[in-house]
Amino acid sequence: MKQAPHIPVMIEEIIRSLAITPSMDVVDGTFGAGGYSERFLAAGARVYAFDRDPDAQARGSELSGRYGGMFSFHPACFSSMDTELHSIGIESVDAIVLDIGVSSMQLDQAERGFSFQSDGPLDMRMSQDGQSAADFLNEANEETIADIIYNYGDERRSRRIAKYIVSNRPIERTAQLASIVRRAVGYQAGAPKDPATRTFQAIRIHINQELEELSNALVAAERLLRPGGQLIVITFHSLEDRIVKKFMRRHSGTEVGGSRHMPVTKQINKAMFSRPAKPIKASSKEIAMNPRARSATMRVAVRNSISAVRDMAGVKAKRL
């Protein structure tokens, strides 16, 4: 793999924000095809990359060969970044960058089952381990399936879709699931948005526990960043962005409380981060070149000099 098969979203905005200096320590929490890591390395940073997808390891090995000790790949969830790095003697870093959600590399591989654009096995597992989407849909009861589709897909017709899913089991292929959803909602070809999109998103988020992973990663990032370090998070839908926005506000002292995706914490009297800047959207030029950037939102928070709240250590979000 000579080049990353996707365009890293809002990379120029990230590079400007980081203002990388030689040997700056940067965590790329969502390595994917390595587009972000390669730019950070080219700018002189030392990069610690995380990805639970085994397919990412080949690209990680290639960058390790080219950049030697300036790059290390960690085949683990980004929520474990602090414990993983502490185990090799890295106590703090200058920046952490997270590009949340499924990668273009995963979407483009029909055999991974993330997309219905090409038929493939109904898998959706980022780690390629554990319960698959087919397992879930064929084993869960109708109410559970409906709740997942409603909560994670913002799909008002979730009950009807779940009923159709259960009555058409077993389901093994992405095209099969997409067809079932379309029949359930009376989809007509040529409509502006395929109704299967929301259901696929919801099931993928559930299978990979993506919101729990994000919530835990934000807590880990707070513990790992050194004073003046930046936390940069790019999200692609409102569920993710709401978690990031609430975390940054709460931990900058501008909001207190919990949410249905974040653990409830006691009031934070000392702000761990400075007041976050306004969110940044992709430029029209980038959107024209990379349509995926259209829904991207970038949020940045800067770590303060005070120590992380000790009773936050070990906090894990409740399983959704």
Annotation: CATH topology of 109-208: DNA polymerase; domain 1 (1.10.150)
Residue 268 has pLDDT above 70, yes or no: no
Task: For residue 316, give the H/E element and its range.
Answer: none
The 10s digit of each residue's pLDDT in 34-65 is 999 999 999 999 999 999 998 888 889 999 99
pLDDT at 276: 86
pLDDT at 260: 54
Q: Residue 101's Cα: distance from chain center in Å? A: 4
**Angle at which helices 142-153 and 196-208 cross, to 10°:** 100
pLDDT band (50, 70, 90) for residue 6: low
**The two domains 11-105+210-312 and 109-208 share their CATH topology (first three levels equal):** no
Q: Is the dihedral of CA 157, 163, 164, 165 positive or negative?
A: positive
Closest CA to 153 of 193, 119, 111, 186: 193
**Angle at which helices 210-224 and 238-250 cross, to 10°:** 30
pLDDT band (50, 70, 90) for residue 109: confident
Residue 313 has pLDDT above 60, yes or no: no
Question: Residue 320 burial by CB count (10 A; 0-12/13-18/19+): exposed, middle or buried?
Answer: middle
Query: Could you give the percent of the chain with pLDDT greater than 90?
Result: 70
pTM: 0.87
Q: What angle do CA 304, 308, 310 make, to 5 degrees?
A: 160
pLDDT at 319: 36
Do residues 304 and 274 make contact, with C-beta atoms less than 8 angstroms apart?
yes
pLDDT at 116: 86
Q: Which residues of 17-36 are buried (b: 16+ CB within 10 A; e: fewer)?
A: bbebeeebbbbbbbbbbbbb
Residue 245 has pLDDT above 60, yes or no: yes
CA gap 130, 41 in Å, rounded: 33
CA gap 102, 168 in Å, rounded: 27
CA gap 320, 306 in Å, rounded: 31
Least confident of 192-201, 282-291, 311-320: 311-320
Closest CA to 106 of 79, 128, 126: 126
Domain segments of the chain as ranges: 11-105+210-312, 109-208
Identify the CATH number of the domain defined by range 11-105+210-312.
3.40.50.150
Query: Could you give the percent of the chain with pLDDT greater than 70?
Result: 87
Residue 93 has pLDDT above 70, yes or no: yes
Closest CA to 231 of 295, 304, 310, 293: 304
pLDDT at 185: 93
Closest CA to 234 of 6, 4, 9: 9
Residue 163 has pLDDT above 70, yes or no: yes
Q: Residue 150's Cα: distance from chain center in Å? A: 20
User: Averaged over 238-247, what is the pLDDT?
Assistant: 95
CA gap 54, 289 in Å, rounded: 29
